[in-house]
Amino acid sequence: MNEFISLTVAGIATYGCVYALTAMGLVVTYTTSGIFNFAQGAIGMIGAFFFYELSRVWHIPSLLSLIIAVFIFAPLIGALLERLVMRRLENAALEAKLTVTIALLLLGIALATAIWNPQTVRNLPSFFNGHQVSVGGVNLTYQQVIVVLAAILAAVLLRLFFIYTRAGIATRAVVDDRDLAALTGASPARFAQLGWAMGCALAALAGILIAPQNGALDITNLTLLVVNGYAAAMVGRLRSLPLTFAGAIVLGVLYSYALGYLPSTLVWNDFANITPMIFLLLVILVLPQSRAVLSRRIMVRAPRVVGLRESLIAGGALILAGVLFSRLLSGNNLSYANTGVSLGIIMLSLVLLTGYGGQVSLCQFSFAGLGAYAMSKVGGTHGSLLGILAAMGLAGAVGGLVALPSLRLRGLYLALATLAFAQGMDTYFFGNPQFFGVAGSISVARPDLFGFQLSSSRTLLIALTVVFALIATLILTFRRSRFGRRLVAINDSPAACLTVGVDMTRSKLAVFIISAAIAGLGGALYAGAQTQVGPNDFQFILSLTLLLIAVVWGIRTTAGMLFGGIVFSLGPLLGQHLTHPRDAFDLLVGLAAIGVSQNPEGTFGGNTLLQRWRNSREAQPPQAAGALAADSGEERLSHAAG
């Protein structure tokens, strides 16, 4: 009984209240701006390191350092982010909004690595270190008491703010109806900025309070610990602060029970570590979803669909370019090209799933890893075609299993569900010696395609460009088909599709399976280009980076995926000139992705100079933007229903 009480109190004081702080910050940010902040963990991590700098390096008193970090530094970051980046994303697609916050996550980690050398050990002592108090026979440190009091005080103050203050009431009005609140004199932008300032302050407070309990300050671990608060935020459906607080306490207690009661074996320890993500997945699947919205977003002009003739010409040009570069490149440069094209094939799966279908997946690299594993086990030492089919079959089958319980999910719910799956795969599949061996890596033979054994890197590059051109042409053909028009119609307006009898469930399941199979194929080819891969090649953070780069280059374009894959593969080149190549690459990608706020359609999207020139050449009489969007939607729905 004493152990049960101890674990319960520890779950509340050590984990639950910290989760509550970061989850309430997520709720405040989302309800005031409509953007789910994936960078919440990075902001909390930077707040903790900044507090360390103030208190331990500059020797400012701890209380004053806490006030500066939480009430000045973090709110200033939040206000600047909203003003410079988030304000331009009001009418952007979900993948663009998520991409920008993912970019901020990578940018925060890269900046922290550049400022604070990870090799230096930094310890942040607890507040009132060494002092304890007994509560119900359980000894609590003053640090744990402070965490509990801070969480309760933050919850109460936020509740009072939103109910009894003029600014809080105006904020709730903006959340309920942004346009109507603006007519009454409220400024939606100003209150969104206030929400971001408050959310970042709570993230910094959570990071500062959890850091002493986590041992030495670690950039990655501290960032991911705060990420566990996602599950608590979903309990309140990103709206209710009381439910969010309750969900955080339940999550913290469950995590404490898992650590205390589960056997001390590798499998069960891993299970305890992913308890927050399991909780997140269960919450998303159990809670009722919001109703289908009438429209997804407003676009001035529907994206132009490339015709078959243009697709074939572009594919032929790509193959000729592959032949040319296979002769011009050599050594590492040829390896980078092979890796880039194979990554581009994986990214093509996002064009179909996210670009056309509007379903955001954060686990595409997990499907690619399944394809690589199947290729290793079935393809043999000669990379038979049977291994390629097994790679597509395994990835597609698992994709279908992931999609089945998620068919009722939309938007952010689906993205977080796939994120939970990806983190579970990192722990139980890619990190499991039974699958990737004791050495932590598997050998994958280069495939035998079109009757040729691709042992040479030059022939492999030609074959990869052929495969890319073939899949890209098939995807564009699919887009022009009746099923493709139906998919785009579902993306544009789910509610309208329901009224005309479109079978959304079957369409979503089919596109998820096809997308996973393409990612599995790309994973098999990617592993073949590397000849040896390990768990680090398929971490869930890479799936986030993959989506980020896809949106930067234009997630609705196949050409953008080719360039995105090549850019992704060039990260190791930075190692020849920079001390921390991985972090420098994250820094550059993060800065580039922030440009999505200026152009949500990406580099090859509908806002490029080429598209503007093409639009100006079309002799179409000027119409109102709303009429164009309405005509486009009616045309898609009529094709889909017919």
Task: Specify the CATH number for the domain of residue 242.
Answer: 1.10.3470
Structural domains counted in the chain: 2
Percentage of the chain with pLDDT > 90?
A: 24
Domain hosting residue 357, numbered range: 315-569
Beta bridge partner(s), residue 134:
139
CA distance linking residue 639 with residue 642, whole number of Å: 5
pLDDT of residue 445: 86
Among the residue ranges 347-356, 471-480, 537-546, 592-601, the one predicted with the least confidence is: 592-601
Interatomic CA distance for residues 338 and 563, integer angstroms: 13
Work out the average pLDDT over 317-341: 90
17 or 634: which carries more pLDDT confidence?
17
Q: For residue 415, tell me if it sits in a domain.
A: yes
Helix ranges, 165-187 (H): 166-176, 178-183
Look at residue 584 and tell me if it is in a domain: no
342 shares a domain with 270: no
User: Each residue of 573-603: b (16+ CB within 10 Å) or e?
Assistant: ebeeeeebeebbbbbbbbebbbebbebbbbb
For helices 219-227 and 94-115, give the axis angle rounded to 10 degrees. Answer: 150
Label residue 451 left, alpha or beta by phi (over 0 means left) and psi (-120 to 50 means alpha).
left
Asked if the structure places residue 583 within a domain, the reply is no
The answer as to whether 134 is a domain residue is yes
3-state helix/strand/coil string of 70-117? HHHHHHHHHHHHHHHCHHHHCCCCHHHHHHHHHHHHHHHHHHHHHHCC
What mean pLDDT is predicted for residues 284-288? Answer: 73
In a domain, 154, yes or no: yes
Assigned domain for 610 exists: no
Residues 374 and 520: their CA atoms lie apart, in Å, by 9
Same domain, 368 and 247: no
Paired with 135 in beta bridges are 138
For the entire predicted model, the pTM comes to 0.84
Residues 392 and 470 in one domain: yes
Q: Are residues 496 and 364 in the same domain?
A: yes
pLDDT band at 316 (very low <50, low <70, confident <90, very high): very high
**Do the beta carbons of residue 640 and residue 482 sit within 8 Å?**
yes
Looking at the fold, whether 548 and 446 belong to one and the same domain comes out as: yes
pLDDT beyond 50 at 642: no
Q: Which helix (H) or strand (E) holds 140?
A: strand 138-141
Q: What pLDDT score does 588 carry?
A: 65
Query: 259 and 392: one domain?
Result: no
Three-state secondary structure of 182-212: HHCCCCHHHHHHHHHHHHHHHHHHHHHHHHH
Two tokens, residue 96? 């663009």
Do residue 274 and residue 359 come from a single domain? no
Q: Are 472 and 558 a contacting pair, CB within 8 Å?
A: yes
**Same-domain check for residues 335 and 240:** no
pLDDT confidence of residue 623: 45
Per-residue pLDDT of 484-517, as tens digits, reads 888 888 777 776 776 776 777 788 888 999 999 9
Exposure pattern of 227-261 as b/e (b: 16+ CB <10 Å)?
bbbbbbbbbbbbeebebbbbbbbbbbbbbbbbbee
The answer on 222 and 340 residing in a single domain is no
Residues 369 and 469 in one domain: yes
Does the residue 623 lie in any domain?
no
